[in-house]
Amino acid sequence: MSDPRSTAPIFGKLTAPQAWQTVDLISDLHLQASETATFEAWRAYMAQTPADAVLILGDLFEVWVGDDAAAQDPFLQACADVLSHAAQRTHVAFMPGNRDFLVGPDYLGRCGVKPLTDPTLLKLGAQRLLLTHGDALCLDDKPYQAFRLQARSPEWQQAFLAKPLAERQEFARSLRALSESQKHEGMKFADADPQMSMFWLSLAQAHRMVHGHTHQPADHPLSTGQRHVLSDWSLDHEPRRAQVLRLEKSGGLRRLNITNATGS
């Protein structure tokens, strides 16, 4: 595989309207029907957040095998209801993650959710922030990077979505089983490559990067700026964790702990 630094990413752009004062960033909720506490906290947060926009930076869902699956899944329909109600009162946008990169325009359109390119340059007041899910930055995970290159191609996606739904669901179950076994074995997951992060920031002429994927929430200084890692959400298991990163037009940045299902 060629060096990713040899190819510049194509940045999406989101310029916040003048009226926006706060933008909330979340990722890695891994919503699934069996984890009701996480879902309920997310539903309450989406109904109550005072932010002018909620930008979801990938892995909202634990797995996604095609928009057609939602028509037969009451849980995915309940998620659509949450998104639809939130989108009626605030700007909601979704960026694909490594688990839900097949979420398509049919589902998002029905929910009133806007698509976000990965990566996207957000202009909020005088700020320029680079938003990404983060998986493309984890260069040390070479097997995953090879799979990502294949799975993000239109040809692979078209062929996969043409398979019967039951076959796609079985494929997803096998990937989830592999992921769970790696967790139990204590496998250390790759972090975002600092050089690649700085390369992207330089290209975007931004000083802050925000991403998820690694489930290691923290703020990292870079020679060219800062890298802010979003929290995953897990309220059904210990340790319980759920955070929102709230950006303010004035330049402020706060981490809000969502423990009582409130976004205020």
Q: What is the pLDDT of residue 187?
A: 58
Distance CA(99)–CA(93), nearest Å, equals 17
Asked whether residue 4 is assigned to any structural domain, the reply reads no
Query: At 181, is the pLDDT very low, low, confident or very high (cuts 50, 70, 90)?
Result: low
Q: How many domains does the chain have?
A: 1
Q: What is the pLDDT of residue 20?
A: 98
Q: What are phi and psi of 97, to 5 degrees?
A: -110, -170
Asked whether residue 198 is assigned to any structural domain, the reply reads yes
Q: H helices within the chain, ranges in order?
A: 36-48, 74-87, 105-111, 142-151, 154-161, 165-184, 194-204
Instruction: Kindly tell me if the per-residue pLDDT of 263 is higher than 80.
Output: no
What token pair was written down for 262? 């409130």
Instruction: Kindly tell me if the per-residue pLDDT of 4 is higher than 60.
Output: no
Between strands 218-222 and 225-229, the pairing is antiparallel
Asked whether residue 1 is assigned to any structural domain, the reply reads no
Asked whether residue 263 is assigned to any structural domain, the reply reads no
Asked whether residue 5 is assigned to any structural domain, the reply reads no
* Percent over 70 (pLDDT), the chain: 92
Pick from 33-47, 143-157, 183-197: least confident: 183-197
Of 135, 68, 73, give the one whose Cα is nearest residue 98.
Answer: 135
Query: At 153, is the pLDDT very low, low, confident or very high (cuts 50, 70, 90)?
Result: very high
For residue 222, give its domain range. 10-257
Averaged pLDDT for residues 51-78:
96
Question: Could you give the C-alpha distances from 116 to 76, 95, 194, in angstroms and in order?
Answer: 20, 5, 23
Instruction: Kindly tell me if the per-residue pLDDT of 40 is higher than 60.
Output: yes
Instruction: Kindly tell me if the per-residue pLDDT of 260 is higher than 90.
Output: no
Pick from 6-10, 75-79, 115-119, 225-229: least confident: 6-10
Asked whether residue 24 is assigned to any structural domain, the reply reads yes
Q: What is the pLDDT of residue 221?
A: 95
Q: What is the pLDDT of residue 172?
A: 87
Of 107, 216, 109, 234, give the one whose Cα is nearest residue 161.
Answer: 107
Asked whether residue 162 is assigned to any structural domain, the reply reads yes
Bond before 119 cis per omega within 30 degrees = yes
Distance CA(124)–CA(17), nearest Å, equals 8
Give the chain's count of helices (H) and strands (E): 7, 12
Asked whether residue 56 is assigned to any structural domain, the reply reads yes
Single-letter amino acid code for the residue at 249: K
Gyration radius (Cα) of the chain, Å = 18
Instruction: Kindly tell me if the per-residue pLDDT of 46 is higher than 50.
Output: yes
Averaged pLDDT for residues 104-111:
97
Question: Could you give the C-alpha distances from 228 to 185, 213, 250, 251, in angstroms and in order?
Answer: 27, 12, 18, 14
- CATH number of 137's domain: 3.60.21.10
Instruction: Kindly tell me if the per-residue pLDDT of 114 is higher than 90.
Output: yes
Instruction: Kindly tell me if the per-residue pLDDT of 121 is higher than 50.
Output: yes
Averaged pLDDT for residues 217-243:
94
Q: What is the pLDDT of residue 116?
A: 98
Averaged pLDDT for residues 104-125:
97
Angle at CA 256, nearest 5°, toward 253 and 257?
A: 155
Pair 254, 217: CB distance under 8 Å? no
Q: Which residue has the higher pLDDT, 98 or 185?
A: 98
pLDDT in tens, 198-216: 999 999 999 999 999 999 9
Q: Give the residue carrying structure tokens 């979420």.
A: 103
